[in-house]
Structures are given as C-alpha cells and as structure tokens.
Chain A
C-alpha cells in the first residue's frame, strides 16, 4: 500500500515531522498523530500478533475500545496505538506478551 496522507494536506503539513522505529525499521510520521495513523501512512497495518493463535492483528475500532492495536511503546507494553501520540525517537514494537495493565497509570 502506498503511503498517502489525505484531504487536509495543509493541516497535516503544519505538523512537525519526526522519526520513530517500528519493529526495528526507521520510519517518519508527524508529531502528535496517533502511532496507528503514522503506521497507516507508512503502509503498515499489522501491529501485533495474537498471543494465543499468533494471527496478525491491527486497527479495528480506532478509538480505544477494542484493544486490538496494542504495542510496546518505549518499553511499556500494551499501549493502544490508536490513542498513543507519536513523539520523536519513539521505539514501537509488536507486543510479545499481554501487558500487566500497569501502563494505565503511567500514561
């Protein structure tokens, strides 16, 4: 899939470009956009693998209800990438195990 940003080009361009790492790959996105949006714009839709079956998973609800888009962000597991905003130098990786939930109090 092509990396494309849509209609509100002006709005997007006003944002600051930042670099981040997803599963070892260096990518660019905009500061303050949800991590999942930056991944979409880079053509990446698979965010994690089901802990039970190993099947790939990605965005489903997009607003924090379904918890399908979890990833480890800067070492904290099970962050919802639809709600977590991108920052310069973020290290994002597919969750290896189910998080403890402690991250709720650290966000």
Chain B
C-alpha cells in the first residue's frame, strides 16, 4: 500500500490530522490497534461547564463518529485491529494486518496517546481490580457493569469523572480513597497534593461544599485544613472523597471481596491502630497517565523527560515536528492533556506537515498553533497542573537541540 501519510493512532488527534491532510488532497491512512476508530474519545461522557448552557454534555462517542464520518467522506482509510511492529527509513511501516503487510509513506504522524500508570497496591492482581480506563471503557462504551460495589483508589480529575459516570450508570460507588503510601505511589498518597489538584476540577463539581474547598485550595493549605478534612466529608456528585484514608490491602480468595482501609496523617503517613474493612466486589485503580512513546523508538526520535507534561516524550518543536525529518506528533504522546487539546494538536501537526511540503501558507500554521492554546484554555480539566511550564521547557530543549548542531531541516 502506498500513501502520502500514515497516522498511527485513530484517537481525537489522529482523526483530526487525517481530515486536515485529506482536505488538501494527501492520501492518508490511519491505523489503530483497537477494533474501531475513536480512541479514548469513545468512553468520554461528562458535563463540561465551559460549553453553552443548553448543551453541556461532552459525548465522546458522538464526537468521534462525526469526525470519522468526515474523514471517511474525504477519502481517509482506517485500518483497525492492527499493530505497527517495524518502521524502516523514509518510510515503510510494517503492520500485523492479514492482507496489508506494509505501508509506504512519505510522512508519519504519531498519535498513539497514553497508557495508564500502574499503581500497585497489595492484592491488585486479583480479579475485580481494574484500571480507571477499563472502568470507563466498559461502562460507557460497552455498556456492561464491571461490578456492583466499587471503591476508587487514586483521586484525580480522571478518576473523579469516571466515578461520576459509573454512579450515573447505576453502579454503587462507595467512595474514593488514596493508595497505600509507597515509593511507587508518590504524591498520589499525599492528602495535601491531592487536595491541591482537586482545585483544578472544582468547577466540575455542582456540590457547593466542594466549590468551597476549591476556593480554599487556591490559597494555601495548612495542616489545619487537612485536620478538618478528617471530619468534614467532601462529596462530589454524592460520591464521598476520603482524602485521609488509604487502601492498604485488597482482599479476596478468588475475586475481590473486601478492602482494608487505614487512616492517613496530614502528611500522608499511615496511622497505627485504626483499621476498617469495607465490603466491595470491585476496586478501580487510577495511577495517572503516561505518554505512549514506543512507536517513536521505531523511527529513532530523540526523547526527553519532562515531568511537568507527564514524563518521557519525543522532543518536538512548537509545531509538533520531531527530531526525525517527516515525523510529527500530536495528542497525548506529546504530554497529558484533554481531548480538545489533542484535536487542536492533530490539526497543528497536519498543517506543520503540509507547511513543510509547501502546501499551506505559514499564516495557516500560526493560526493552528493559536487554536491549540485556545483549546488548552477551554479545557475543563487540567491533567498536569504545570502543563504550560512543561511546554516551555520543551521549547527550550528544542532550541538547545537545534543550537547543538543536530539541526532538523
């Protein structure tokens, strides 16, 4: 198969890229490991307070299907249930499809998204312990119940929105607690940091008490605040949030039967003596997201570690060009942000590619760049509080790289 551009990943970033490329007449194919295009958009269903009042629902499934229809109408080819296993220079992309074995392309956009960080808690391999992404996918996309009584471990914007979605689907969500403090859990077990990060989603919560805490948090948090939290229960959409409790063990012989919960000090240390057992059949673990960068190593993109944007990511310039000529990136592979930013980045990567081929004017590229910043501003959830700082660090690292003589044309 011969095309102009291969896009790896059929999520919001990849699909929008394909639309922009196809509009300008480039033959584009999008490949994805999942059985249908849409990526994690498919599971998203929430209220966005930044949308107009009459229609605040963000239904990712509907948005994905509109985008896919548009792409298909423009002649974009989607190949699903396919894994890329090798990429040869300038470029031959080898895939695991039954009929199509290789795709020859002039350019590549990597839009592989993210994967979930593991957050080990004793007992986490038991049947009934699932990741927050699985919970979202099976509830909102496949419409099946993963359990009857669920406890969430890990309190963050994503797990809160999934907990709300599950409760709305009629599942008994008993609450949200922190993971056992360990070297791996890091800040996820620190009540203070978690409370601060909750401020970032406080606009999502209709609950007045939580809004109150949201305001509170934007100022300074003292240990007094946290002491109060021991007695004052925060609830978001009726779901109890226990900032001073941690799961220390998940119990069950064959499948999950209960969890052991202990109280945390204001500093996030386990307090001795107070132990409770909660009967649950499902535990949903949220350890955060990590850019999925495996594919960048098939083309030898240079990687950099920037914790502010989510970890190790391919070095790229502000127009999403990597250190390898003809390879661009878009979406969560560049750092952890929401679907709207991913869509805007999809457009930017496509226009960056088109600009390099002299198929669009510089002005259009700059406009696409501005749209990414606008999407960032309009995002209801900030997954990485210091994302802007992280983006600036990336730009600095790119400039350093160019100055070092390893110039990308």
Contact = CB atoms under 8 A, between A and B. Distances in A.
Interface string A48-64: 00100001111111111
B126 to A, nearest CB: 8
Interface in A2-52: 2, 4-9, 11-12, 33-34, 36-37, 40-41, 45-46, 50
**Which of B139, B146, B148 has the most chain A CB within a 10 Å cutoff?**
B146
**Which of B83, B116, B127, B137 has the most chain A CB within a 10 Å cutoff?**
B127
A61 B145 contact: no
Given A46-B127, A62-B138, A107 B96 contact: yes
Interface stretch (B68-76, B128-136, B224-232, B367-375): B128-136
Nearest to A44: B127
Contact of B98 (A11, A55, A58, A107): A107
B281 interface: yes
Contact of A64 (B34, B129, B144, B146): B34
A82 B128 CA distance: 15
Contact of B81 (A7, A33, A63, A107): A107
Contacts of B254: 46, 56
B50 interface: no
Interface string A72-107: 000000000011010000000000000000001111
Contacts of A33: 142
Interface residues of A, number: 38
Given A62-B130, A63-B34, A104-B83, A37 B138 contact: yes
B405 interface: no
Contacts of A34: 35, 142
Contacts of A57: 125, 127
B142 A37 contact: yes
Interface residues of B, number: 36
Contacts of B126: 55-56
B128 A8 contact: no
A5 B98 CA distance: 33
A45 B128 contact: yes
Interface string B101-142: 000000000000001100000000111111101110111101
A88 B344 CA distance: 41
Contacts of A64: 33-34
Contacts of B255: 45-46, 56, 58
A68 to B, nearest CB: 8
B207 interface: no
Given A63-B137, A107-B98, A5 B143 contact: yes
B189 to A, nearest CB: 21
B300 interface: no
Contacts of B145: 1-2, 4, 6, 40-41
B193 interface: no
A3 to B, nearest CB: 9
Contacts of B129: 60
B133 A62 contact: yes
Nearest to B82: A107
Contact of A5 (B127, B128, B134, B144): B144
A59 B143 contact: no
A45 B127 contact: yes
Interface in B61-98: 81, 83, 96, 98
A59 B35 contact: no
Contacts of A2: 145, 148
Contacts of A62: 130-131, 133-135, 137-138
B127 A58 contact: yes
Contacts of B144: 4-6, 37, 40-41
5 contacts: A7-B169, A40-B145, A46-B255, A65-B115, A107-B96
Given A62-B138, A83-B81, 7 more contacts: A4-B145, A45-B146, A58-B128, A58-B255, A60-B129, A61-B131, A64-B33
Q: Which 7 A-B pairs have the closest CB atoms?
A: A62-B134, A37-B142, A58-B127, A40-B144, A6-B143, A41-B144, A62-B137
